[in-house]
Every structure is written in structure tokens, then in C-alpha cells.
Amino acid sequence: MNVSSVPVEAGEPRSCPAILISAPASGQGKTTVTAALAYYHRQQGRRVRVFKTGPDFIDPQILTFACGQPVYQLDLWMMGEAHCRELLYRAAGEADLILIEGVMGLFDGDSSSADLALALAVPVAAVIDAQGMAQTFAAVAFGLAHYRPQLAFAGVIANKVGSSGHARLLLEALPADMPLLAAMSRDEAVGLPSRHLGLLQADEIGDLDTRLARAAELVNSFTPCVLPAPVGFANVSNNPPPRLLAGKRIAVARDAAFSFIYQANLDCLRAMGAELVYFSPLLDRSLPEADSVYLPGGYPEQHLQALADNTAMKQALSAHHRAGKAIYAECGGFLYLLDSLADKEGHRAAMVGLLSGSAAMQTRLANLGMHSLQLEQGEIRGHSFHFSTLETALQPLATSTAQRSFGHGEGFFRQGALQASYLHLYFPFNPQLAAGFF
């Protein structure tokens, strides 16, 4: 069942064990621990639903593999609190456990993991990398628990524990009212490899099942895993989006080069009546029969030559555009439609050529943060996260507003029925506007 696509009727509150897993900083092992817990409880026959705080495409792939269900984002600004509550209410109706992975450090950002936990009344568990620490582990945990006293703090999870003796030291140092929920041994076999945008994608990690099985074993090794306390989730009634895409067939690019897509976006398109079919710009030589094309973000720079060599697909997209059919492209999909793209080593290849301009990958981040985009049909929200820079003479139809003071707006381009930008937009924020892309 897709948890964001079916209208909610008024009903009783639902209760489900739930916890938000955060940390003092990035790199402490939140994704590994969350995936390990999801995998472990799934092994016990429990139905686990996992959410990811903030706009993220890569961690949810790992978490989806671990829990066996689609993973949805939760973000107060991009989605709104009511929509976040709606998703959790649906999940509580079909789950035995809800896990929410936080983002960055617990209190980092204008819409932090702590803000989300407070708004949704979900208790927090903090993952702390315990390497090289003993009693200081307890001091870090104490600080996280008391920095905002109104935050419900369920306990702490020790990561990269050296031995059973190390685990005992950590446990003895903690205050009596702060449980050690789990202690996970240090083991290189469970590490998740990464690249410039984050972790490798799930289908790129050939031994992911082995890694997660080992992680699930380790997270239960020193202290038995128990279910967190039940959390009550109030019903948030909503109206279904209008069926503006009834009878429309949308071809969605989905392969190793184009995989950054919100599950909620796909649900939203289906809820508006669209039929979705999938294709691979890397492997397929023709488009499926479709009224419109959706090119999401991803890693086109990692597959530069393969995309350039598939001239049949480039010709098919050009013919689709000449026929006046809609194309909507985000970030990596946007780069694919340019004249050319260069990777960070400077190797350049010809892309589809539907948008005049070129882009080149850089070694440093070019833009990051939440954005609001205002179009004729109103506002829609999303985020930007890219390492490439763009050179084009095209004039944007509109420019987004960055929510961070050091961010900069992204141009939104329209040529006929083609619309594209660096932005990853969240369709359920304004389904009527999103329908216009297709």
C-alpha cells in the first residue's frame, strides 16, 4: 500500500512503537544503525516502516532494502506538518514498528531532527560513535538529552563498540535514567561505501544483504533489541488530489543514472490518475508509448559515455519533444537534456541537446538547500543539491528562492512542453501545479 496516495477518512488515533534515530553529527552511523534495526525486526516477523528526515534519495534506498517497504521523507518545511502527520498515521495503521532516521546532528538546521521529533511527539534515540571514548560517551549523551528539555529522549545507541568490556564501561557511565538501547560492535564488514553525494546506491552495493544481516546481528549482540514505546498518531483527514492526469501515461526514467525520485511523487501522480511506465536511458533504445516523460535526478556523470553512445534514446526524446509532448526533468535529468556534460576529470560527452548549454562537474558543492518556486499555478517546494555548474544563454522562466542565506536561486526553464531545472520538487505540496509538468 502506498502511504501517501489514498485519502484518509476521519477515524480514531493509532498507536505504534516509534522512535527517531539521530546523532550528535553526520558520520556517526545513523543509516547503518537504522538499517540494522529495520532488518533485525523484519527478521523477527515484524512489519517495519522507515522514514527519512529531510530531502534525501540515497539513504532511503538502503532503508527500503532493509525494511522491504518504500521509504518516505519527513520534512516540516518542504512537506508541511499536516502531511508528515498524515504519512505517519497511515504507517501506524499497518506497521509493528516505525523508525525515522534523522539528518545531520540532532539540533542542526532550521528544520532539525529535534524540531521534527518535537512536532510529531516521537522520542529520540541518539547514535554516538563510541570509538576512543569511555565516560565521555555519557557526557555527550547527557548534553543531547538536556539541551532542549522538552524533547522526549528515549536513550542512546553506541556504535563501533570495541568489546563487551567497552560496552560495560559505556553502560556504567550513563545516568540511571538513560537506557543504552543498543551497542553495535565495530566491524568494517557492515560499513556502507560512499561517494560525493553520499552513500552508494543500494543496487551498487553487491553484498548489501550480507552487510545488513551482519549489522542486524551486531546491533543485538551486547544488549537485546526491544521495541520502543508506543506513540500515538492522531488522524489528519485530507482530500484526494484532483484527477488531472486521468488517462495520461507517463514514462519515468529509472536506472543507475536516474534514480533520485521521491516515492511520494510517484504516488501523487498515480493518485491524479496517471499510469506510470518505466524505461532506462542507459539501456533502452526507444521510449515506451507515453504522453509525457519524467527524467529525475541521479548520476548521469557516472555513466557519461553510455548515455552519449545511446543515440537511439536521444533521438527518441527529441522526437517526443518535436511532437509537442511534455518532458519534465530534475537535476541529473536536466543535465542529460543539455548539449553536453563533463565529469569532474574533464571528460565531456554529447547529451540529448534539447536545451542549449553545457554543464561540468566540480569537486566542490555548487548549491545545497531548500527552495521555493513560484509559477503561474502557485508555489511548490523542494531542494537543490548538486556539484555541477551550468553555462547557458537560456533565460529562465522563473528563479527559485533559496531558504538559506548562502544558497542561490535555481533557474526554472521552459521550452514548449519541456520544463527543467536543478530543483528536486515535492509534488504533494502542490499537486495541481505538478500535474502541469505532465
Superfamily of domain 14-233: P-loop containing nucleotide triphosphate hydrolases (3.40.50.300)
* CA–CA separation, 141 and 175 (whole Å): 9
Catalytic machinery residues: 331
pLDDT tens-digit series, residues 272-294: 999 999 999 999 999 999 999 99
229 touches 41 (CB < 8 A): no
C-alpha distance from residue 186 to each of 163, 179, 212, 287 (Å): 8, 20, 14, 47
Core vs surface per residue 393-406: b (16+ CB within 10 A) or e:
eeeeebebbbbeee
How sure is the predictor about 208, in pLDDT bands with cuts at 50, 70 and 90?
confident
Cell triple for 213: 544481516
Q: What is the pLDDT of residue 110?
A: 82
Q: What is the mean pLDDT of residues 344-349?
A: 95
Query: Which pLDDT belongs to residue 7?
Result: 47
Q: What is the pLDDT of residues 128-139, one digit of tens each?
A: 999 999 999 999
What's residue 253's pLDDT?
Answer: 98
pLDDT digits (tens, 9 = 90+) for 171-195: 999 999 999 999 998 887 676 655 4
Contact (Cβ atoms closer than 8 angstroms) between residue 184 and residue 146? no
Query: What average pLDDT score do residues 74-84 get?
Result: 96
Q: What is the pLDDT of residue 6?
A: 43
Digit-coded pLDDT (tens) for 293-308: 999 999 999 999 999 9
The listed CATH number (3.40.50.880, 1.20.1260.120, 3.30.70.3040, 3.40.50.970) that belongs to domain 249-435: 3.40.50.880
Residue 5: per-residue pLDDT: 44
Q: Output the pLDDT for position 198.
A: 56
The pTM of the full predicted model, rounded to 2 decimals, is 0.92
5-19, 24-38, 413-427: range with lowest mean pLDDT: 5-19
75 neighbors 125 (Cβ within 8 angstroms): no
Judge contact between 397 and 414, C-beta under 8 A. yes
Asked if the domains 14-233 and 249-435 are classified in one and the same CATH topology, the answer is yes
Cell of 331: 537535476
Return the C-alpha torsion angle 346, 352, 353, 358, nearest 10.
-20
Which whole-number Å values give the CA distances from 353 to 1, 77, 283, 314, 326, in the listed order?
A: 39, 35, 19, 8, 16
Note every long-range contact of 169-172, with CB atoms under 8 Å and residues 24 or more positions apart, other chains counting.
Answer: 169/134, 169/135, 170/130, 170/133, 170/134, 170/137, 170/138, 171/223
DSSP 300: G
Q: How sure is the predictor about 226, in pLDDT bands with cuts at 50, 70 and 90?
A: confident
The DSSP call for residue 242 is P
**425 burial class (0-12, 13-18, 19+ CB within 10 angstroms)?**
buried
Number of other CB atoms surrounding residue 239 within 10 Å: 7
End-to-end CA distance of the chain: 24
pLDDT at 32 over 60: yes
Is pLDDT at 100 greater than 90 in this prediction? yes
Domain boundaries, the chain: 14-233, 249-435
pLDDT at 405: 80
